[in-house]
Amino acid sequence: MISWLLVMPIAIPFATAVIAWLARMGPAGRWISLFGSVLSLVASLALLMAVLENGVVAAQMSNWDAPFGITLVADYLGVVMVVITAITGLATAIYALGEIPERMEKLGYHALFQTLIAGVTGAFLTGDLFNLYVWFEVMLISSFGLLVLGGSREQLDAGIKYVALNLVSTLVFLSGIGLLYGMTGTLNMADLRGAVAAVENQGLVTVVAMMFLVGFGVKAAVFPLFFWLPASYHTPSFAVSAVFAGLLTKVGVYAMMRMFTLVFTGDIGFTHELLIWVSLLTMFTGVVGAAAQMDFRKILSFHIISQIGYMTLGLALYTPLALMGGVFYLVHHIIVKANLFLVSGMANKLAGSTDLNRIGGLYKSSPFLAVLFVVPAFSLAGFPPLSGFWAKYLIVKASIELEMWFVAFVSLLVGLLTIYSMTKIWGMAFWKPHPDGIEPTPDRVPASVRLPMMIPIVGLAVMTVVIGFFPEPFVQFARVSAEQLLDPGAYVTAVLGEGAAAPAEPAAATDAEPVTEPASETGGQP
Amino acid sequence: MNSIIFTAGARILVALLFVFSLFMLLRGHHLPGGGFIGGLLGAVAFIVYSLACGPAEAKAALRASPEGIAMVGLGIALLAGLVSFVFGDPLFTGQWYWVGGDSYETSIFSINSVLVFDIGVYLVVLGGILSLAFAFEEET
Amino acid sequence: MEALTALIVGLLVAGSVYLMLARSFMRFLFGLILLSNAANLVIFASGRMTPGAPALVPYGADAPAGVVGNALPQALVLTAIVIGFGLLAFTLALAFEAYRRLRTMDTDKMRLAEPKEDGK
Amino acid sequence: MAEPSDPNAPWVNPAGMITVAITAALFIFFARYLPVVPVEGAVPFVWDWIPSLDIRMSFWLDGLSLMFALLITGIGALVMLYAARYLAGHPQYNRFALYLFSFMLSMLGLVLADNLITLFVFWELTTFTSYLLIGFSHTDPKSRRNALQALLLTAAGGLALLAGFILIGITQGTFELSQLNAAGTMAEHPAYLGILILVLIGAFTKSAQVPLHFWLPNAMAAPTPVSAYLHSATMVKAGVYLLARMHPSLSGSDVWVWVLTLFGATTAVFASFMAVRQTDLKQTLAYTTLMALGTLVLFLAGSTGYAITAAMTFLLVHSLYKAGLFLVIGIVDHETGTRDANVLGGLARAMPITAAAAALSGLAMAGIPPFLGFIAKEVAYAGALEMALTVFVVVMAFAAFALMFAVALIVAWKPFFGPQGDLPRTPHEGPWAMVLGPATLAVLGLLFGLMPGVAAYYLIEPAVAAVMGAPDTGGRLKLWAGFNLPLLLSLLTFAAGYLLYRFHLDLRERLARIEARAPDLDAGWDRLLDAFVAFAKGQTRVIQTGVLRHYMFATFAVLAVAMLATMLLRPVGGVSLAFDGIGFMEWGIAALIAAGTVLVILTSSRIAALVGLGVVGIGVALIFIVYSAPDVAITQLLVELLVVVLLAVALLKMPYLDAGNRQTHRPFDAALAVLVGGLTAWVLLRVTDAPFDRRLTDFFEGASWTEAFGRNIVNVILVDFRTLDTFGEIAVVIVAALGAFALLKGGLKRGPEGETAPHAEKERKE
């Protein structure tokens, strides 16, 4: 049963994609997509229940035991990412009802969207390195399609850069997988933990780890590999950019967290120390980059980069509290950043542009939207008692505990500069009167468009507030996630079975004894 | 390239290639071949056809939209995995039904989910690549 | 043979990096094709290379006799080739459409999403 | 400033009245603790908020927080009532009421909080709500700018404060103020200095100490009720409150004494001069607020009974008269249309009650007996004489008080009892809802002065006890303390103050001249922000160039540097090239691939490039064939064929490779390319050099036929052992096809330039 709980969050979006595509010519497609998103959420919540009950759950696909087949596994971090993906997916599926034009639906918007969700979810659930690559590709190719869907000239230009840089990172990652396989003979991530530790040439392991760091670094958009993100995120439709902003970079961060807590822990003094500096530079250059922009979505894009730095910092500091902060940050940021992009779409609809110089007056005419902007914006800036404050608090506290004053200083400074950018949007889009004298009241948009766009904005804002006011369960959850990451014993046991949690023996031919049960129910040995 | 001889020759070649692609698909579990290679060969067959007779006729010969074929293929592949649910196995567990016996040796042939999956792969590769190729041919 | 393959990979990578740094997006595409090949060879060579023994179980036997080619990296490479083809085809379509709409293949001139005057 | 005040607009509306009622109710609630606190010391309320982070929503009602709570709710209720009338008919009045009310609650939370993190939450909430209040006239760019300035400065201080609080939590093991204060000073702790500096940065920015003072007068962009509220009881006093609150744990070191004395005294005297300098009465009052804050900080430097009593008494006095005066100025502005000190005069006849309130408040401010202000000044001098740096403190306090005397006359005497001015509007008495506040506050100032024992017992002594961290002996507040040095200083203050008032016009001109030459911090702020934006743009120019080549170069360079640095810093071993057993055929394949690669690189012909790619592809396929991978080889060949066909179809429609931009010479690119290629080859050599673990392969070989019923192991892996990979892979194929299809077929109707704007396109056709 656990097995199917793990499968469903991946299978449902795929099935939805197929059906929605076959129905793409009529209005049914969007409702199918919406229904599929609801089902995905239900399935991921069911998985969450299972994880809360059992700690870490794992299942062997095709019924071949690890490390021979492909394992799906969900620990606290994995499952929370799945749930949050489903939430973001549902939010944007609702939003798309209002925003996505029929023309794009006929070109297969919903199918691409659902495969994107499937790819992201697969990446969070897989316990196999090569399989992770495959999910990365599913996600990537779907995102390519979504990014250029609609085909404006800006989108094509953005697409070229996005595609080019992401393909390079993918190939670096793929080569890294090949080399790691060459060193250990295995692909299962839990199995790799022991196998990598047993490799004689640890220096070489670190070199390969660098390839992974660069590959994931491009995906996560860390300094100085983030170019593709500000080059592209402001160009597609708003629903698409919200999903991208919420999820895509997080997959890179997640992969980094997974690999650099589970597998590459042999040379923390080098890899993680390096990552601290990378994180700090990411935080700083991102937030500074935002200050130079005058477009709603471009500002938000640079802030994604900046916030990614906090998450990787949580990993880099590598203490329970820091990782806890990193996990908390990850979850909080998906909700908040996706929501901000959704708000920018609504602002665009009402005021006619995302260029801050060309819009204004939203505060006076659409006070409700103003509130809905303030919540995620100030959460992003780390204002208490919103979710972002606790995330920042954990990271800062972790760095102060380590007596890393400079790290704490940069974390706080970046928070301050984030306020600057958020208030810039607030001042120019909301407080300032509209330069053309337009009153951007909500009824400028028909209710059939406005309602679907506002519902997810409200929902995500409520979540931000709830996490902010009642953080205890979320903090607890993040704490367990961090513990599981720092001590992957339960993860390894869940994947490989009892007795495997200890570091695996060095490579030996005798290991090849098949420990799997044959698929005896249906076949049996000939 | 619209010479009658090339067109006629192409039809035969295409038919042969197509049959060969199915052959490659079916033998794949035991000898080099399988859904990928079969699908690629099938796609090459139709691409040759469309080069000879134009994409419109090639599409007509296909009798369905290539994207549709691919999507159905994906659905079939997914179903081949989901069918394990009925038998209480994990996703994509191979399910074998022996016709005329109870094991590989005694049976005449088998119906199994693995082959169904490979057929899905075949359809996706065939449809996907044809879709790409036709789009290029028509738009360029 | 792994050593020679490594040299081939090095050459392919060097060539593709050089191509990808060019201004013409077509050259980038060529580089991408070479880099995909290189990555596939990396996986293939990592699984070690065995000449002349395909990974087949002979009829009548339960397992291959003697050492045969490592099947796992072959399966991975096969997957990677097909995925690479999908990505490449899309990228080619993107390049083509971009050329049709932007009238250039020179990436230096593709400045629509990040125009020069853009707050800089 | 556009503050609509339609005299006929209905002003009793639900939003306003509810907030007034709740605030008044809160005042009564807290007032009921007046008899309790002096007896019981403190009343705690605790709710476990985030136990796993040791953060509790805990409150602590002692003398200090009670005094603040009463000031906040009491003055709050009066100000809200006033605002309802003042902003009657304003289209955004409801928002205003909401913000003011939220601000009041945040402030209340701040002064009641016992847990430092909880306190910080409220601290930031006051920052945020005051941002909304200061920027209330949001269509005015100046108002937006000033709101942002206040927000950024106080938030910056807030972040320092957060760091300080976290440091306290880590080093002291608790966030509870009650426990921290009970433990006494932490001056001995090695982290003390860091904590102190961080907390002081927070407190000083919030309380606008020089040189971080400039946001405060700018915050005057807010409507008058906000100014009254912000500057009397609350926001700016949050910093002072914090210093008082943490006095027991943070004082007790020389640093504390010196820093507080210097900053407080400087701020007080500087602000007093600036107050005289202003002609806008609201600005004048803003600077006197600054003076008061400086004075409070100055006296919190001390630890003696008189110093603390002075601080607490002055706090109470100041809150009462400053709120009153702001409200009075608001009425004057409301009725006459101006706030210019040079114009206003002789209003007493037209608005007698307002004039009376102003006079009483002014007298309190000037420190004339029998007002509480007088007592405060007496105690202050007594405290100053007890403090360290005695002479300095006394001189500075004297200067500040004397100037304050003059300012009181300028603000509260001249407009009402001075010569008649030339006013834009004929003044009338203000409406009762607006007059009630200043009148009440003024009378309170007088009553407390007449009955200092009451104020001392219920308010000041419990507060002093809380700040001292020990029960207070009391008995310091007396209207008549006998002939002593403080009295003499008071008399001298009056004399000096009066002289200053006589010559204040002259003084103002001199100050204006000095000010013109002094560095302008406010303009410096703008320059700082401009510099930041310029830096940001510069960084963006360098990093985010918009040119793909640069991005690509950086990415590969990072990869190369990361790998190379690791190889240099970590032992990875040398390379041994073992070419034995490699035959003629293998070398031939290698040569083929090399030739193809070189051809692709060097040619500028599309056909030649295609040929080169094809050759490479075939060469790679040959490797697969020779090394036992027939499936892969067939796939490779077929894919290569398709790639070449697709490329050929597309390429023929595209320009020549180097149309117009042939880059013949790219040495840096070549160097990077060789580096990346070399590193990859090296790593692969090292990896394949070591023994290989075949356990997965062995399993597949054993199970392929016996358990999965397939003889082609590669295919069995694809469709059985690792089906999920294959499934994802075909998903990629199909999505790639869909994406490419959408791209090629789904573009906009295209003419040469006939593009429609993208967002116009996106409108759904309903």
End-to-end CA distance of chain C: 52
Please answer yes or no on whether B67 and D741 come within 8 Å at the CB atom: yes
Provide the residue-wise pLDDT of chain C in tens; the chain has 120 residues: 788 999 999 999 999 999 999 888 888 999 999 999 999 999 999 988 888 888 888 888 888 888 888 999 999 999 999 999 999 999 999 988 888 888 878 888 787 877 765 544
Q: Does residue A427 form part of some domain?
A: yes
pLDDT of A506: 41
A156 touches chain C (CB under 8 A): yes
Query: Are both A285 and A156 inside the same structural domain?
Result: no
Extents of the domains making up chain B: 4-139
Mean pLDDT along residues D179-190: 87
Whole-angstrom distance, CA of residue B96 vs CA of residue B104 = 9
Burial of A201 (0-12, 13-18, 19+ CB in 10 A): middle
Query: Are both A17 and A44 inside the same structural domain?
Result: yes
Query: Are both A309 and A356 inside the same structural domain?
Result: yes
Query: For residue D760, what pLDDT band results from cuts at 50, 70 and 90?
Result: very low
- Number of B/D CB contacts below 8 angstroms equals 140
C86 touches chain B (CB under 8 A): yes
**Total number of domains in chain A:** 2
Please answer yes or no on whether B71 and A22 come within 8 Å at the CB atom: yes
C2-51+68-109 belongs to CATH 1.25.40.10: no
From A112, A218, A353, residue closest to D735, measured CB to CB? A112
Q: Please, what is the average pLDDT of chain D?
A: 85
The residue to which tokens 């090399």 are assigned: D594
Task: For chain A, positions 406-445, list CB contacts with chain D under 8 A.
Answer: 408-409, 412-413, 415-416, 419-420, 423, 427, 430-433
Q: ∠ CA(D133), CA(D532), CA(A281), 5° rounding?
A: 110
- Which range among B14-28, D118-132, D524-538, D557-571 shows the weakest confidence by mean pLDDT? B14-28
Instruction: Please give the structure tokens belonging to residue A526.
Output: 């000939």
User: Choosing among A214, A353, A379, A474, which should be mutated to test the D contact, i.e. which has the most D CBs within 10 A?
Assistant: A214
pLDDT of D663: 63
* Closest CA relative to residue D467, chosen from D268, D222, D245, D701: D245
Query: For residue A408, what pLDDT band results from cuts at 50, 70 and 90?
Result: very high
Q: What is the 3-state secondary structure (H, E, C) of D122-175?
A: HHHHHHHHHHHHHCCCCCCHHHHHHHHHHHHHHHHHHHHHHHHHHHHHHHHCCC
User: pLDDT tens-digit profile of D24-41?
Assistant: 999 999 999 888 888 877
Residue D761, pLDDT above cutoff 50: no
Query: Are both A262 and A301 inside the same structural domain?
Result: no
Query: For residue D684, what pLDDT band results from cuts at 50, 70 and 90?
Result: very high
Please answer yes or no on whether C22 and D549 come within 8 Å at the CB atom: yes
Q: ∠ CA(B115), CA(B118), CA(B124), 5° rounding?
A: 145
Whole-angstrom distance, CA of residue D153 vs CA of residue D156 = 5
- A49: number of Cβ within 10 Å: 12
Residue D2, pLDDT above cutoff 60: no
Containing domain of residue D695, as a range? 691-747
Given its phi and psi angles, is residue B23 left (phi above 0), alpha (psi -120 to 50 degrees) or beta?
alpha
User: pLDDT tens-digit profile of B52-65?
Assistant: 777 788 888 888 88
A465 touches chain C (CB under 8 A): no
Residue A75, SS3? coil
Extents of the domains making up chain C: 2-51+68-109
Name chain D's partners: 3 or more CB pairs within 8 A: A, B, C
What's A514's DSSP letter?
-
Whole-angstrom distance, CA of residue D742 vs CA of residue D740 = 5
* Closest CA relative to residue C73, chosen from D379, D30, D718: D718
Name the strand (E) or helix (H) holding A263: none
Which runs of consecutive H residues, i.e. helices, occur in A100-152? 102-106, 109-125, 129-148
Task: For chain A, positions 346-375, list CB contacts with chain D under 8 A.
Answer: 348, 352-353, 363-364, 367
- Number of B/C CB contacts below 8 angstroms equals 17
Phi, psi of D509 (to 5 degrees): -65, -45
Please answer yes or no on whether B114 and D738 come within 8 Å at the CB atom: no
Q: Which residues of B touch C96 (CB under 8 A)?
A: 136, 139-140
pLDDT of D233: 61
Whole-angstrom distance, CA of residue D262 vs CA of residue D631 = 83
Please answer yes or no on whether A519 and B88 come within 8 Å at the CB atom: no
Please answer yes or no on whether A174 and C98 come within 8 Å at the CB atom: no
Q: Does residue D46 form part of some domain?
A: no
pLDDT of C116: 67
Query: Are both A52 and A200 inside the same structural domain?
Result: yes
Whole-angstrom distance, CA of residue C111 vs CA of residue D451 = 77
Closest-CA distance of chain D to residue A106, Å: 9
Burial of D28 (0-12, 13-18, 19+ CB in 10 A): exposed
Instruction: Please give the structure tokens belonging to residue D351.
Output: 């608005």
Instruction: Please give the structure tokens belonging to residue A219.
Output: 């995906």
Q: Which residues of A touch B64 (CB under 8 A)?
A: none
Query: Are both A300 and A418 inside the same structural domain?
Result: yes
User: pLDDT tens-digit profile of A484-513?
Assistant: 999 998 899 988 887 654 444 443 333 333
User: pLDDT tens-digit profile of D188-216?
Assistant: 888 899 999 999 999 999 888 888 888 88
From C82, C93, C110, residue closest to D740, measured CB to CB? C93
Whole-angstrom distance, CA of residue B46 vs CA of residue A378 = 57
Amino acid at D297: V
Burial of D429 (0-12, 13-18, 19+ CB in 10 A): middle
From C35, C95, C113, residue closest to A158, measured CB to CB? C113
Q: Which residues of C touch A137 (CB under 8 A)?
A: 83, 86-87
User: pLDDT tens-digit profile of D516-574?
Assistant: 888 788 888 889 999 999 999 998 888 888 888 899 999 999 999 999 999 988 888 77
Please answer yes or no on whether C110 and A160 come within 8 Å at the CB atom: yes
Query: For residue A308, what pLDDT band results from cuts at 50, 70 and 90?
Result: very high
Amino acid at D149: Q
- Among candidate residues D502, D521, D537, the one where a domain is terminated: D502
Query: For residue D766, what pLDDT band results from cuts at 50, 70 and 90?
Result: very low
Please answer yes or no on whether B44 and D642 come within 8 Å at the CB atom: yes
Closest-CA distance of chain B to residue D706, Å: 10
pLDDT of A517: 35
Distance (Å) of CA D186 to CA A290, A390, D120, D206, D517: 41, 27, 20, 23, 43
pLDDT of A484: 92
Contact between residue A368 and residue A430 where contact means Cβ atoms under 8 Å apart: no
D539 touches chain A (CB under 8 A): yes
Given its phi and psi angles, is residue A128 left (phi above 0), alpha (psi -120 to 50 degrees) or beta?
beta
Query: For residue D657, what pLDDT band results from cuts at 50, 70 and 90?
Result: low
Rg (CA), chain C: 20
Biggest CA–CA distance in chain C, Å, is 73
Query: Are both A193 and A308 inside the same structural domain?
Result: no
pLDDT of A445: 86
Mean pLDDT along residues D287-295: 89
Instruction: State the Cα torsion D687-D689-D693-D697 to the nearest 10°.
Output: 90
Question: Can you name the residues that pair with D280 across neighbouring β-strands?
Answer: D340
Query: For residue D659, what pLDDT band results from cuts at 50, 70 and 90?
Result: low
Q: Does residue A510 form part of some domain?
A: no
Please answer yes or no on whether D709 and B66 come within 8 Å at the CB atom: no
Spell out the residues 6+ positions from residue A45 whose beta carbon is closer than 8 angstroms to its own.
Answer: A83, A86
Q: Which residues of C touch A288 (CB under 8 A)?
A: none
Instruction: Please give the structure tokens belonging to residue C62.
Output: 């339960």
**Total number of domains in chain D:** 2
Mean pLDDT along residues A443-447: 86
Name chain A's partners: 3 or more CB pairs within 8 A: B, C, D
Containing domain of residue A362, as a range? 269-469
Closest-CA distance of chain A to residue C35, Å: 7
User: pLDDT tens-digit profile of A112-166?
Assistant: 999 999 999 999 999 999 999 999 999 999 999 999 888 788 888 899 999 999 9
Please answer yes or no on whether D635 and B73 come within 8 Å at the CB atom: no
Mean pLDDT along residues D99-121: 92
Mean pLDDT along residues A228-251: 92
Spell out the residues 6+ positions from residue A118 whose beta carbon is closer than 8 angstroms to its own.
Answer: A10, A13, A14, A17, A138, D731
From D630, D641, D733, residue closest to B44, measured CB to CB? D641
- Which range among A143-147, A154-158, D649-653, D758-762 shows the weakest confidence by mean pLDDT? D758-762
Give the residue from chain D lying closest to B34, CA to CA: D715
Residue D765, pLDDT above cutoff 50: no
